[in-house]
Amino acid sequence: MSKVWMITGAGRGMGLDFAKAVLASGDKLVATGRNPERVAAAIGQSENLLVVTLDVTKSADADSAVKAALERFGRIDVLVNNAANFYAGYFEELTPAQMDLQLASNLIGPMNVTRAVLPVMRKQGSGKIISISSTASLLGFEFCSAYSASKFALDGWMESLQPEVAPFGIETMIVNPGFFRTELLTDESTQYAPLSVSGYDERRAQHRAFWKSANGRQSGDPAKLAQALITLVNEPELPRRFIAGADAIGMVEQKIALLQQQIDAYRDLSSSLDFDEKA
């Protein structure tokens, strides 16, 4: 039996690769984006495709998209929270408005769409919710404080959501990709801090040059990640987390080793903090 997928941000970047892989597998797809004409043109025509307008920061859009999906296909089996953007810069140079916008796209957006989909999956007694996160949700990177804040929060929310919805037959998975050749680093998806604090001048210039030069040169192939998602969704059970890419595995293993070193270095001090109960 074919599945019905709903993918946010499906008209470009990684979301477009996900969309094409779903249709190629024979499954049905609700492809969403802020510009539905652009989404439709990018994906092409298919009898298994429904394109709907969805700005993930607007909960009313999410409700309307889910309603349209049910009217067309009758169910939603897999939700992929993919839509995201990147506010790059040092925290002191990012404006409060930029921080709010980063959280709105990368955290509140997935929450809005998931909130709209959950009643459907609960009624079905089944469903899979996948959120595309980042290695920046597991390691903090200089110049990425806003992005990491949004992705750390996304992971925490998803980990907490899993035991809440598991009794209804709903599974969740966090995907932590490394560097994949998507459109995240294009001028359309990356916004830089507008303020300039003189103490950061030299490092800011270096980081801007790095991120701009990295666009189109990332090692990961998003088409292969899309196929990996198809494989994982068709497994008997989703993994709670999928570390995507050899570079991501290397970074996460370094983080695990660092955490273990810090635990071992202060194990005695940490273990001595309980109350001394009186006899």
> What distance in Å separates the CA atoms of residue 212 and residue 47, rounded to the nearest whole number?
39
- Catalytic annotation present for 147: yes
Q: Does 277 map to a domain?
A: no
Give the orientation angle of helix 13-24 with respect to helix 222-233, to 10 degrees: 50
186: in domain: yes
Instruction: Determine, yes or no, domain membership for 241.
Output: yes
pLDDT value at position 63? 98
pLDDT given for residue 198 in this prediction: 85
**Better-scored residue on pLDDT, 19 or 245:** 19
pLDDT of residue 74: 98
Catalytic residue among 87, 147, 192, 266: 147
- Establish if 187 belongs to a structural domain: yes
Residue 227 is assigned to a structural domain of this protein: yes
Query: For the chain, how many structural domains are there in total?
Result: 1
Q: How do residues 175-194 score in pLDDT, each as one tens digit?
A: 999 877 665 555 665 787 77
Range of the domain at 80: 4-270
Q: What is the CATH number of the domain that holds 20?
A: 3.40.50.720
Confidence of residue 260 (pLDDT cuts 50, 70, 90): very high
* pLDDT value, residue 248: 94
pLDDT greater than 70 at residue 215: no
218 within domain boundaries: yes
User: In this structure, is residue 279 part of a structural domain?
Assistant: no
**pLDDT (tens digit per residue) in 144-178:** 999 999 999 999 999 999 999 999 999 999 999 98
